[in-house]
Structure 1
Amino acid sequence: MIGWGDVYKVVAAMAPLYFALGLGYGSVRWWRLFTTPDQCDAVNRLVAFFAVPFFGFDFASRVDPFSLSYRVLAADALSKLAVALSLAAFVSFFSGAGKGGLDWCITGFSLATLNNTLVVGVPLLDAMYGKWARDLIVQVSVVQTIVYFPLLLLAFEVRRARGGDKTAAVEDGGGEDERPAMWVLVRAVGMKVARNPNVYAGVLGVAWACVTNRWHIETPSIIEGSVLIMSKTGVGLSMFSMGLFMALQEKIIVCGAGPTVLGMALRFVAGPAATAAGAFALGLRGDLLRLAIIQAALPQSITTFVFAKEYGLHAEVLSTAVIFGTLASLPVLIVYYIVLGFIR
């Protein structure tokens, strides 16, 4: 059962996020340290191409690849596939071949499936179910880093190559009506994805984890220190960048009430429902089923905002989902925990 001490641990893990957010916000609004959107974009690019990859490598290198819970990971994969197909069908039905179809598929997938497994998930699930749950949520986080974030980046690059990113289209000299041939599109997307360190950082981390666990060797301190010095900046700079973005907007809730409610519904209702169906279909029962559902209701991944800002797609929706979703997540997750406790 969760006690007040456990609640404090979760709140203590959340509070630094808003401290970094406040510093970013104040740097623009009050202290005028950053005065132009280009300066704020530069900070976000630093996060996207340096801090986040090192953060992913660091945690991936600490997992034990030989003790993975494949049924839990398969249930998570099945639920994400179901969400992706449902979003594609929904958007196709209501918007036809309109340009916004892929855009909302990408954003909807981010909102429904990609969550903050480490900062909030680890202390919360450790308090709820113990060490085994903490180990499982780290495994889910690593798979998110090495599989689902690269797939998200691939979708962003496909959108950009098709002309969905107007800024990129102008920079490349192409008009809005031009559509590259399929091979040119595939080649352009492949080159972009191959150059993105987020794609292979997690894979390298898992590869190194295989080496260290198979032959029982320790990471040399000089390498570990070099990785940690960048890894530790990942979460803080991501929230700082979000604060910069918020300060440049006229309103705190930039996207309006409708998208905010939609984001909360996808995060706290649709995502857990899809995961429950996938977990049940693969035979998960008892605490494993409860864990799978609760981890799907964790707050929005901060990294999804960083990528959305970098690619210019619904960053306002993702920032709102992170900021207010994280605040709302603790009572929502406790309700899930209590309700699921009655299911046998």
Structure 2
Amino acid sequence: MIGLEDVYNVVEAMAPLYVALLLGYGSVKWWGIFTPEQCDSINKLVSFFTLPLFTFEFTAHADPFEMNYLFIGADAISKLIILVVLVFWAKCSSKGSYCWFITSFSLSTLTNTLVVGVPLIKAMYGPNAVDLVVQASIVQAIIWLTILLFVLEFRKTGSDIASTTPSTSDSHMISFEIKDAEGNDTTVRPRTSFLGLMKIVWLKLALNPNSYASIIGITWALIANRWHFQMPSIMEGSILIMSRAGTGTAMFSMGLFMAQQKNLVACGPTLTVFGMVLRFFAGPAAMAIGCIIVGLHGDTLRVAIIQAALPQSITSFIYAKEYGLHADVLSTAVIFGMMVSLPVLIGYYFMLGFLH
């Protein structure tokens, strides 16, 4: 049963995030410390240094041999359900698009499991349930955030190529001629083959530490747990000195972004409600279906649904900001999601208590 002390523990875990957020916001809005160019540089620092090291650090300390693979299977099925629905929406709806497909997937599936999930789930179901939340976070970092990074890079690279003129087009490109409708003049337009585009995308991802931080981390975890040895302290200390700043600098960068917007609710009320519906209802509903398919029950079922209703992943905002895709929507989802998550998740807790 959740008591006032448990609620306080969750608030205690979340409050420092808002301190970092306010410091970032105030440094631009009130004190004028950073220029827009400097704000972009800070986001790159977070994206290319603190977050990859943070991801590596927590995946490297996992034990892959003790994972609940039914739980992970339910999580994978829920995300595949979301993908199928979004593909159908993007193809069949006049409002569907590739860009909103990416953002809607982030809003529906990517959660803040470590900061909010761990203290809340511990209060609800005890320390054994925390292991499930950590497992979900590891799989999210290894698979789903990596996929998100790929599709964002694919979109950005394709857009960059499409915006180039024939005179500045790369040579990974193929030119072709078409006849104008009004005469015999020819127009040369650049086109990139799919393989050429993929080559550019993979090259960029190879230079992005987010692409392989979680892979290296889980590889280390497999080796370390198989042969029972620990990371050398000099190596761990070198990682921790930057990784400990991961979440804080991410929230600071979000504050910088907020301060540069005209309105505090950067994306407007309609998109805010849209994001909250996807985050707190669509994700848990898909997870419930996944749990039924694999046969989860008891507290494992309850933990699976509640962790799917956790607030928005901070990393998803950093990626959105870096790649210029609906950062206003993701920042609002993170900020408001953490504000409203506590009553929503407690409501789920009491409703799920009736399940047997």
TM-score class, shorter: over 0.9
Q: Secondary structure at the match of 2:159?
A: coil
SS of corresponding position for 1:255:
coil
Query: RMSD of the TM alignment (CA)?
Result: 1.8
* Identity rate, percent: 56
Whether the 8 Å contact between 2:47 and 2:318 is mirrored in structure 1 is yes
Which deviates more from structure 2 when the two are superposed, residues 301-310 or residues 250-259?
A: 250-259
Shift in Å, 1:161: 2.3
> Residue 116 of structure 1 aligns with which residue?
112
Partner residue of 2:195 out of 183, 191, 204: 183
1:70 aligns to 2:53 (yes or no): no
Give the C-alpha shift of residue 95 in structure 1.
3.0
What per-residue deviation string (whole Å, max 9, x for no partner) do you get for residues 16-57 of structure 1?
A: 01000000001001111102x211111001100101100000
Aligned position for 2:58: 59
Kindly provide the amino acid, as one letter, of the partner of residue 312 in structure 1.
G
Q: Deviations over 1:218-277 (max 9, x none)?
A: 211111111111111100000000000000111011111111000000000000000000
**How much has 1:178 moved relative to structure 2?**
4.8
The structural deviation recorded for 1:281 is: 0.8
CA separation of 1:27 and 1:165: change in aligned 2, threshold 3 A:
farther
For 1:336 and 1:119, locate their aligned partners in 2 and report how far apart those are by CA, in whole Å. Answer: 19
1:34 maps to 34
2-structure distance, mates of 1:119, 1:179: 45
The answer to whether the 8 Å contact 1:165/1:312 transfers is no
Cross-structure match for 1:89:
88
How far apart, in 2, do the equivalents of 1:137 and 1:206 lie?
16
Size of the aligned set, in residue pairs, is: 337
Retained in 1: the 8 A contact 2:161–2:169? no
1:149 to 142, 145, 150: 145
- 2: CA distance, partners of 1:309 / 1:212: 35
Deviations 1:155-200 (A, max 9, x none): 101111221798x868x9569x854211111111111122211111
Corresponding letter in the other structure for 2:246: G
Partner of 2:218: 206
Cα deviation for residue 203 of structure 1 reads 1.1
Amino acid at match of 2:32: R
Q: Which has the larger radius of gyration?
A: 2
Aligned twin of 1:43: 42
Q: Which amino acid aligns with 1:160?
A: K
Cα pair 1:163 1:179 within 8 Å, conserved = no
Q: CA contact under 8 A between 1:159 and 1:165: conserved in structure 2? A: no
Higher mean alpha-carbon deviation, 205-214 vs 117-126, is at: 205-214
Over 3 Å counting, the alpha-carbon distance change for 1:337 and 1:151 in structure 2 is same
The aligned counterpart of 2:11 is: 11
* 1:50-96 Cα distance to aligned partner (Å, 9 max, x none): 01100000000111111010000011011001101111111211138
Determine if the alignment matches structure 1 residue 24 to structure 2 residue 24. Answer: yes
Greater than 3 Å deviation, 4+ residue runs: 172-175
Query: What letter matches 1:248 in structure 2?
Result: Q
What amino acid does structure 2 have at the position aligned with 1:295?
A: Q
Q: C-alpha distance in 2, partners of 1:74/1:299?
A: 21
Aligned letter for 1:67?
E
Task: Tell me if the contact between 1:165 and 1:311 (Cα under 8 Å) persists in the aligned partners.
Answer: no
Q: Which amino acid aligns with 1:42?
A: S
TM-score for the superposition, normalised by structure 1: 0.94
CA contact (8 A) 1:34 1:40 kept: yes
Q: 1:79 to 1:178 in 2, by over 3 A?
A: farther
Deviation, 1:211, is 1.9
Q: Of 300, 313, 316, which aligns to 1:301?
A: 313
Query: SS state of the match for residue 151, structure 2?
Result: helix
TM-score by length of 2: 0.91
Query: SS of the counterpart of 1:250?
Result: coil
Q: 1:165 to 1:185 in 2, by over 3 A?
A: closer
The answer for unaligned runs of 5 or more in structure 1 is none
SS in 1 for 2:93: helix
Distance (whole Å) between structure 1 residues aligned to residue 69 and residue 208 of structure 2: 28
